[in-house]
Amino acid sequence: MKILLIGKVGQLGWELHRALGGLGNLSVFDFPQVDLERPETIRGLIQNVRPDLIVNAAAYTAVDKAETEQDRAWKINAVAPGVLAEEAGKLKAVCIHYSTDYVFDGQKREPYVETDEPAPINFYGRSKLGGERLVQETDSAYIILRTSWVYSLRQQGGFVNKVLQWAREKETMRVVEDQIGSPTWARMLAGLTALLVARGGSQLYDYVGSRRGIYHAAGSGGVSRLEWARVILRYDSNPEQQRVKKLEPASSSEFPTPAARPPYSVLNCERFERTFDLRIPGWEESLQLAMGDRNTGP
């Protein structure tokens, strides 16, 4: 099987590069070889590689900047996935793409299911929803995995690393408690993607074709950012380096951002689990593994 992975340096792309390697002949492209802002670079690339499977890990993920870079965010998050899926359809290749919990407005108080009506409250969410719709309009064999609160311990700046850093700098940490979501370890999501591909095996096109659609795939369960921070500190393997003595609840209104965030975006992943006969680990179970790995891994 020829696999084309787009994006290998982002949180998920880096893990997919590792996870998909054993499943076929993997070609990996990143910006600037492929620029999702310029669809012609995508079409040319796909026609050259002629893959059986396209996995798109690239996206415009700067949620706040997207408010002012709407044209760019739309091209990368909406137009480009549509082009990828269209080209996949021409080749009878499978297309796997990722979307976001931010397609929802966060007004629900129980986990979102795939049939809930999207109503994004920021431009990033609108552009990702645009991508979902343009992929769905094609006649390709596609899977869209909606995920949420993706983290990786490899990259500075993500929530987990930030919490560990703040804990070493401050005695009192204030973290918002009015945002509730499903933390998702990038490696876990890449592993799920690889398992799904392996399930299809040599019949991948028919396997995905008969199951094509949107699925929720995120760390199982939900948690506030405040509670997430508390658990991160608990799994810190160098707690003696922490200066923090108090972890206090804060409200999102204390930290205004250009883009609004949904207050609640926990995803119900039962449809994914049932369809692909896979179990998604609880968010805390994955976090514990991720933080253990941080201390022992390369």
Ligand X SMILES: NC(=O)c1ccc[n+]([C@@H]2O[C@H](COP(=O)([O-])OP(=O)(O)OC[C@H]3O[C@@H](n4cnc5c(N)ncnc54)[C@H](OP(=O)(O)O)[C@@H]3O)[C@@H](O)[C@H]2O)c1
Give the separation between CA 74 and CA 165, rounded to whole angstroms: 33
Q: Which is nearer to ligand X, 52 or 132 (CB)?
A: 132
Give the separation between CA 246 and CA 270, rounded to whole angstroms: 37
Verify binding: residue 100, ligand X, rule CB under 6 A: yes
Verify binding: residue 127, ligand X, rule CB under 6 A: no
Exposed, middle or buried: residue 239 (CB in 10 Å: 0-12, 13-18, 19+)?
exposed
CB of 108 to ligand X, least distance (A): 17
Q: Could you tell me which stretch among 11-19, 160-168, 193-201, 235-243 binds ligand X (CB under 6 A)?
A: 11-19
**What are the residue numbers of the active site?**
124
Tokens 């499978």 belong to 94
| Sign of the dihedral defined by the CA atoms of residues 100, 103, 107, 110, in that order | negative
Find the binding residues for ligand X in span 242-271 (CB under 6 A): none
CB of 204 to ligand X, least distance (A): 21
Alpha carbon distances (Å) from 109 to 157, 217, 273: 29, 18, 22
Q: Which is nearer to ligand X, 196 or 244 (CB)?
A: 196
Verify binding: residue 164, ligand X, rule CB under 6 A: no
User: Please, are residues 66 and 131 in contact by the beta-carbon 8 Å criterion?
Assistant: no
Verify binding: residue 57, ligand X, rule CB under 6 A: yes
Q: Which is nearer to ligand X, 185 or 205 (CB)?
A: 185
Give the separation between CA 178 and CA 223, rounded to whole angstroms: 10
Exposed, middle or buried: residue 76 (CB in 10 Å: 0-12, 13-18, 19+)?
buried
CB of 104 to ligand X, least distance (A): 11
Verify binding: residue 286, ligand X, rule CB under 6 A: no
Verify binding: residue 285, ligand X, rule CB under 6 A: no
Give the separation between CA 229 and CA 240, rounded to whole angstroms: 17
Verify binding: residue 4, ligand X, rule CB under 6 A: no
Verify binding: residue 66, ligand X, rule CB under 6 A: no
The binding site for ligand X (CB under 6 A) comprises: 7, 9-13, 31, 34-37, 57-61, 76, 98, 100-101, 128, 147-150
